[in-house]
Structure 1
Amino acid sequence: MPNSAARAKSARRARRGPREDPARNELVSRSLQSAQQCLLHRDYGTAYVHYLLVLHLAPLLKHVAADSFRFTLFKWASELDSLGRIQDLFNCYEQALELFPDDEVIVNSMGEHLFRMGFRDEAAAQFHRALKLRPDFPEARENFYRVSNWLVERWHFLMLNDRGRNRKYQLAIQRAVREGCSTVLDIGTGTGILGMCAQKTGASEVFACELSKTMYELAREVVSANGMADSIKILHKKSLDMEVPKDIPTRVSLVVTETVDAGLLGESIVESLIHAWRHLLLPPPVRTSTCSTGRVIPASATVFTMAVECQDIRRHHRLCVSAVGGLDLTAAGEIRSPVNSSAAVGEVSEPYTTERLSRARGGFTALTPPCRLLDLNFNNLQELEGLCSRETSQLRVQVLEEGVLDALAVWFQLHLDQDNSISTGPHEDTCWEQAIYPVQSPHFRVQRNDEILVDVSCQDAYLRLCCVAVVRDGQTFRLDRVERSVSVACAQSAEVELCSALASLHTSPDTPLRPFTLESSEIALLNNVSYHSNFRLALDSLLTSLRSARGSQGSEVASGRSPEPFYVLDVSEGFSVLSLMAAQAGSDSTSSCSVRAYSSVEKEQHQVLLRLLARANGVDESVLEFWLTHVEDDSAVFQRPTSEKLWSAIVLDCIEPCGLTRQGMMEKATLARCLLEDGGRIFPERIAVHGLLVESDMLLQESAVQGVEPTLGFNIAPFINQFTVPVHVFLDLSTLECRHLSEPVQLFVLDLMNNSANYTSTNVRVQVSASGRVTAVPFWYQIYLDTDVSVSTFCEDSHWKQAAVVLQHPLSVRAGDWVRLSVRLHKSSMSISALKETGGSPADTTVTEGPVISTA
């Protein structure tokens, strides 16, 4: 029986071990050796190919070669990224994940590449996958928080927690549906709450569209969880791309939307409603017609403006000081932020910014009464179509309070229907911020009974405002340009102050013809006088110490040799004058030891500005170099000026303007320490983190949806709260609505000069000083430039904001209780957890996890 014999022979073979394949083993061994040789020569692409071959031929080697393979993959991916070979990059990651499908490090790294390239939805999926593979993976958690801020912006939580806003929309939708608007389209549905309102009221058909993939998927989950998946059709599409009958069977009778920003028109509501009226909505009501008609909620809007004085806005949008740290800044002429409505379209990044005026540091003063700026009827197609073609109009606003003209604040009243409206004004209890149009002209004081002339236009569907002139006693003084004849007309003593202000607008032959543009955070840094003054003190102290230590300088001069200069490297983010201050410190010294300063400033305009300031301050341009022009690889930014020289000082930019530590700060400090000469220093040398316990309902409202009550009973919170980021940034603790429940305490110390002094975790016991609920732990930094000189990020002229850990579950405490804060450090990221001590027993404690408080 041949078949029986065949089975027996096969069985005997199965009992043997796998046959060795000498040729395959030899190939694996040679490929491993080749991969290692390629790594030594930094040929990462070839090394990667060798590792792929090895791991496919010998899968048992995966656990041995995993670390080397990851290292090779990441290096080769970085090269492909720099070369723009995007498809090859992701092919490599797909190949790697076929070999290591459960490797959270590879998954997270792929997400980081996706995020940098703008694929935020896809990046979020990878970070979420990495966290599922390893829930305690700090890098993936931090990356997920970071991408969540992009995908689900924080105003979603505020709006969903705004009971008044949600209820008014509900009432307007109920009235429209009961009056016959039975088919509804929700444009920009977000979580789907407005569409669900329409369906619950009795609409026969409800459609919704959402452009964001993340929000589209979130809306589908929410609608399904609320039992409406079969009655609401959600499209992942921009409304401008929708067609009848392709996307919706017939024209609808009601469009509901809230695609408005703080400036009303910035989210293209006009464009989307023009398209809706032309293609998706039934015609508007006509008296002689009995046919079905369409309507829009909101029905209309009224826009208001007023002029304000606000020091916080001023110091972010124009240079307010003439000197910092011994540097004369007047030669720079005018420095302004890119937020500017008066510039040509395309030359500015945006016509306005946004602020919550009620939280502005130092407050604000209304210089004029609120003035009606614009009325817009969303149910009138002709009015919408004519908006952008309107001629520029001029508004005259009377000044009621004397003060510095810093900005125009804009807000609006959204009329949902004849009975329900929402105001976004600065004095309203609202989830909205106000649109801010900074006045970019130099410091100018207005007086009572002056009139401010404001040009108003709707260019490119943005509302644009520009203060162009002030009228005083019948005379017009231009703010957008200066007429030299003004000074002649101002001989009267009553006009002296005005003339003095206008005189600063005149340009000298040495002043740049065009203003320099810096980001608002860079201008705020330049206006931070105390920071620069303290840096100069610490730098002078270091240079004095180094000169004293160089006892052989005299003999070098006597022998005719030039003394070795001090090398200072500034790797601050964005524009910084610290390198120029270092160069000036060397040129001011009576010692023959000069300073060669290296700046990491990359933008050509920034380099031009530094050179201009160098000439104006008597600094030889040859001692100021722009370091990144010599560096091809970002990882080599700390390399020595020449191979045998070391740095005397390295300036690190450790704190983000938003109030968080910069990613990789401690790693950079470790590298920088190795490149310092004896006695050299990193600035800052250490950073102390301070915080306190507070009760703040506002922080809770801005961080997560609080149950179903504010969302009209709909089950939305569990879904959107997946994107909760438990750290709140860009806070101003001086104006935050909160109750302090403890005194400030030191939470952690980061020593950049002495790594052995650092620790990875600590516990801080904080005694409660007032009864309440601990909802958050705001924190800030004391930055020690040296042992004796420090600056705080929580002070009046700080360009830094503060941040706060928001506790997921507030702690109820009484005065005298103790709360233990556990602070842990991972790389440059910290996490905080809070534990209430009651009775000293583990069963009597409550633990609340905190967030990663570092950002990229």
Structure 2
Amino acid sequence: MNIIQIDRHSGQTSSQILAKAMDLHASGDLHEAEKEYLAVIARGYRVTEILPLLAGIATINGDLQVALDRWTTFLDLKPSHLFGLMEKGALLHRLGRWQEAVVSLQAAERIDPNNPDLLLNLGIALIDAGRGHEAVTVLKRVADIRPGNPLVAHQIRRISSAIVPFWHIPMLNDQPRNDAFEEGIKQAIAAHGSTARVLDIGAGSGLLSMMAARAGAQNIVCCESVGIIAEVAKKIISANGYADQIKLVPKNSKDLMVGENLDKRADILVSEILSSDLLSESVLSTFEDAIDRLVHEEATIVPRAITALGCLIESDVLAKYAFVDEVSGFDVAAFTELAPTRLPVHGKLTSWRRLSDTHDLVHIDLRARKHEASYRQVDLPVTADGIAMGIMQWIRVDVAEGVEFSNPPDHYSDGGWLQVVHTFSRPISVKAGDQFALIAGHDRTSLILMPAG
């Protein structure tokens, strides 16, 4: 039996079908309207006018991929259509395809660079794509166009604070640290003279560079790899009157070139990129690269050396972050395998008890040309009975001759450096008079502090 296919649009012109589709659309019958629009497109009639309508219907119906495909087809025909690029970018963003969303919205931005709604959407897409500095730059443009917009102000502050680690402000307010570094810088400039070339790596606010300028240095280059920090540092340096003495380069030090960013190798290297656990900010590779490429053989290095100090501790409070056993009648001890190996703490504000005296655990000479990963066994004399849960670790910085800075947990309370508890894989019972065998060393990027055996 033959089935005869009947064209339900037989005898109708394309314009008549389109008129019917638009009536259905206006009445809210999106399903039938979509069918009629598709019939019109199949005839090749007014395709670029109908595709946006079909994309809109798909979006309303939650068919985001279908809507995206329709906008893509539309943009193949009209690649510079502002609204189409914006809508495609919005759909890509909703689908979690953030990098692609950025590409589409940036294409729209090139057409209409001062559209505040477009820029806001681009800024948010950049945030989600992990491109925070670019996002802040775009959002600041929105703030200039629409001053006082609370959403924009919130996003700028939120992303800026996410890019810039929280410890920058307390570090700047750490006067003992500042005094130690300024004394080291003064010594270096007194030894080399005011014409010495100074290189400041990881400039942050520009504080150490300004200290060098205040001490008389006339030729200072500082670098800062985080764009948003570099922008603020440049303002600070200028506001304090040192723009002629200090050249700020918004790059990582490993991207600096002698003859391009520095006219010659530096006579003095200043850098405070140290972390609470000593090494996590690529300290060793940064200093090695600078000594190899950027400073003279006889350059003064500030600081000269760093040491991790520590003691064995007991802490019921911190143990709850490091170990788990029975919970609500269930044995969940195996989850301790996933516990953090390091706990940043504020020694003055955390309950803990010493089970040993303080010992130098890991010492690193920052003037060395190369540092190999290494470890050794350190025997810590136990001074009190208890349950050892880890090593409380802090730092000592050898800034210059006769100038040191440290952050002991017993009385240091006003700076940016915290102490770090290196947790053991299990609590260990110890008695006064025991020798606690500890493996102490580093793998170049992190400290190794763990029980031997």
TM-score normalised over the length of structure 2: 0.79
Q: CA, structure 1 residues 76+240, in 2 after alignment: closer, same or farther (shift >3 Å)?
A: closer
Question: Structure 2 residue aligned with 1:75, among 64, 88, 91?
Answer: 91
Alignment map for 1:601-680 (pairs within 5 Å): none
Does residue 303 (structure 1) correspond to residue 308 (structure 2)? The answer is: yes
More helix by share: 2
| Distance in structure 2 (CA, Å) of the matches to 1:270 and 1:262 | 15
Matched, 1:438 2:438: no
The alignment status of 1:374 with 2:362, answered yes or no, reads yes
Q: Is the Cα contact below 8 Å between 1:93 and 1:110 reproduced in 2?
A: yes
Of 221, 224, 227, which residue of structure 2 is paired with 1:213?
227
Matches within 5 A, 1:650-729: none
Inter-CA distance 421–128: structure 2 relative to 1 (3 Å threshold) = same
What is aligned with 2:344?
354
Shift in Å, 1:122: 0.6
How far apart are the structure 2 equivalents of 1:32 and 1:337? 51
Distance of aligned partners of 1:117 and 1:33 in 2 relative to their CA distance in 1, 3 Å threshold: closer
SS at match of 2:232: helix
Contact 1:423 1:430 in 2 (8 A): no
Taking the aligned partners of 1:178 and 1:69, their CA distance within structure 2 comes to: 60
Distance 1:274 1:56 in 2: 49
Task: Specify the code of the residue in structure 1 equivalent to 2:242.
Answer: M
Corresponding residue to 1:36 among 56, 64, 85: 56
1:249 pairs with 240, 263, 267, which one? Answer: 263
In the aligned structure 2, how far is the partner of 1:413 from the partner of 1:188?
19
Identity %: 21
- Give the Cα–Cα distance (whole angstroms) in 2 for the partners of residues 40 and 372 of structure 1: 66
1:323 to 316, 322, 327: 327
1:159 counterpart (171, 182, 187): 171
Structure-1-length-normalised TM-score: 0.43
Matched, 1:199 2:199: no
SS of 1:283's equivalent in the other structure is strand
Q: Distance in 2 between matches of 1:235 and 1:125?
A: 18
Residue 312 of structure 1 pairs with residue 312 of structure 2: no
The within-5 A match list for 1:163-174 is 163-174=175-186
SS of match in other structure, 1:440: strand
Contact 2:387 2:428 in 1 (8 A): yes
CA gap 1:185/1:33 in 2 versus in 1, 3 angstroms:
closer
For residues 154 and 262 of structure 1, the distance between their equivalents in structure 2, rounded to whole angstroms, comes to: 13
Comparing both chains, which one has the higher relative contact order based on Cα–Cα distances under 8 Å and sequence gaps of 6 or more?
2
Q: SS in structure 2 opposite 1:359?
A: coil
Distance 1:374 1:335 in 2: 27
Q: Who is 1:490 aligned against?
A: none
Q: 1:353 to 1:333 in 2, by over 3 A?
A: closer
Conserved 8 A contact 1:48-1:73: no
Residue pair 1:357, 1:433 contacting (<8 A) in 2 also: yes
Query: 1:176 matched to which residue of 2?
Result: 188
Summarize the alignment of residues 220-299 of structure 1 with structure 2, pairs less than 5 Å apart.
220-284=234-298, 294-299=299-304
Distance 1:114 1:69 in 2: 16
- What SS does structure 2 have at the residue aligned with 1:415? strand
Contact 1:208 1:232 in 2 (8 A): yes
Q: Which amino acid aligns with 2:347?
A: L
8 Å CA contact 1:183, 1:254 repeated in 2: yes
* Cα root mean square deviation, aligned: 3.1
Q: Aligned-pair distance for 1:163?
A: 2.4
Partner of 1:114: 126
**Matched residues in 2 for 1:447 and 1:104: separation?**
67
Cα distance change, pair 402–37 in 1 and its aligned pair in 2 (3 A): same
How far apart are residue 368 of structure 1 and its match?
1.2
Of 401, 404, 413, 1:429 maps to 413
In the alignment, structure 1 segments of 5+ residues that lack a partner are 1-24, 63-67, 285-293, 341-351, 469-479, 481-856
Q: Which residue of 1 aligns with 2:385?
A: 402
Q: Which residue of 1 aligns with 2:155?
A: 143
CA 271–333 in structure 1, closer or farther in 2 if over 3 Å, else same: closer
Partner of 2:266: helix, strand, or coil? coil
Counterpart in the other structure of 1:364 = 352
Distance 1:131 1:310, change over 3 A: farther
Q: 1:45 aligns with which of 58, 68, 71?
A: 68
Shift of 1:262: 0.6
Aligned equivalents of 2:250 and 2:279: distance in 1?
Answer: 22
Partner of 1:460: helix, strand, or coil? coil
Shift of 1:147: 1.6
Offset of residue 135 of structure 1: 4.7
Q: Distance in 2 between matches of 1:458 and 1:131?
A: 46
Aligned residues: 401
The 5 A counterparts of 1:766-805 are none
Indicate the SS of the match to 1:190.
coil
1:455 equivalent to 2:445? Answer no
Does the CA-based 8 Å contact 1:456-1:466 persist in structure 2? yes
Distance in 2, matches of 1:177 and 1:466, equals 41
Distance 1:141 1:318 in 2: 42
- Tell me the SS of whatever aligns to 1:301: strand
1:308–1:407: 8 Å Cα contact kept in structure 2? yes
Distance 1:76 1:171, change over 3 A: closer
CA distance in 1, matches of 2:379, 2:189: 42
Q: CA offset at residue 138 of structure 1?
A: 4.5
Unaligned runs of 5+ in 2: 1-44
Q: CA deviation at 1:47?
A: 4.6
User: Compared with structure 1, are the counterparts of its residues 404 and 95 closer, same or farther at alpha carbon in structure 2 (3 Å cutoff)?
Assistant: same
1:499-549: per-residue Cα shift (whole Å, max 9, x none)?
xxxxxxxxxxxxxxxxxxxxxxxxxxxxxxxxxxxxxxxxxxxxxxxxxxx
Looking at structure 1, the residues matched to 74 and 173 of structure 2 have their Cα atoms a distance apart, in angstroms, of 53
